[in-house]
Copies of this chain bind each other. A is one copy, B any other.
Amino acid sequence: MRAAERAQLAMMLEVCAYPKPGNVDRCHDYPDTRLEHFLASTILARPALEEAERGVGRIGEIIGHAVQLTNIHSGGNTHFGAFILLIPLVYGGDIDGAKKAIEKTDVSDAVAFYRAFALTRVCMNAGDELDVNDPTALHMLREREMTLLDVMAHSAPNDMVAREWMTGFSLTRRGADLLKQFGPGRASIGKMFLTLLASEPDTFIVKKHGRAVAEETMAKAREVLDGIRSVEELDAECIALDINPGSIADITIAAIFVALGEGWSWDS
């Protein structure tokens, strides 16, 4: 199967997987962001994913193109974090290829990425000097000659998606291994998501609600794995408090992409 299609299947399988505490799934929408927004974005991203598959053009530009193609619905940002991982993975074909691809990024990738970022409504850390809403940010990128990899290094302490670029896609790797360990079929996706949630504080939750809430959610996910708490209960609690582990969802998509490429089957 073509890498672009594999990426689309990963996006589709992630959003359908149920239950995923706090996130949009086949049984749960947020009022402004619904299952159909995620699936429309999955369909509309195709031309950018095909560019990545052909391996021509620059990573930053292609991420920008993906954001542009998928930002035409009212559901807000659905896959920005996922594209940060998927575009290098599709470009390189696998994790090794992705690592080589991101090492080649330069300041033009960083600039294109920031322009894409400005199109989204991604949660930012307050007081970040590389705030995309600050017109001097692009100037600063150029002055410091920051590559896109440098930008990710800058964001990595507070963003687990950016951190994947620095760690050789370590959580993506772990998620793919978990899928293979749990075996074929969609049920493994929810289980893998929950396992990652139980082991890492989601930085999207940190940005929205602070570190304590992210760590509490992690502890509760651990209790679900230990059979102390039901997954439905955790899901309902997260939804009520607007706690959505969006970064682990992004990593879940990347992990499904990698696992599919290594022979794991969703269809059983």
Contact = CB atoms under 8 A, between A and B. Distances in A.
Nearest to A39: B12
A36 B8 contact: no
B74 A268 contact: yes
A43 B44 contact: no
A44 B5 contact: yes
Contacts of A5: 43-44, 46
A226 interface: no
Contact of A36 (B36, B42, B46, B266): B266
Contacts of A40: 9, 12, 267
A54 interface: no
Contacts of A43: 5, 8-9, 12, 42-43
Contacts of A46: 5, 46
A73 B260 CA distance: 14
A68 to B, nearest CB: 14
Interface residues of A, number: 25
A26 interface: yes
A213 to B, nearest CB: 29
Interface string A1-12: 000010011001
A35 B16 contact: yes
A186 B26 contact: no
A25 to B, nearest CB: 9
A26 B35 CA distance: 9
Contacts of A36: 12-13, 16, 186, 266-267
Interface centre among A36, A186, A266, by most chain B C-beta atoms within 10 angstroms, is A36
A122 interface: no
A27 interface: yes
A58 to B, nearest CB: 24
A26 B44 CA distance: 20
Nearest to A37: B267
Given A9-B43, A12-B39, 4 more contacts: A5-B44, A16-B39, A27-B27, A46-B46
18 contacts: A9-B40, A12-B36, A12-B39, A12-B40, A12-B43, A13-B36, A16-B35, A27-B27, A36-B186, A36-B267, A37-B267, A39-B39, A40-B267, A42-B43, A43-B43, A73-B267, A74-B268, A75-B267
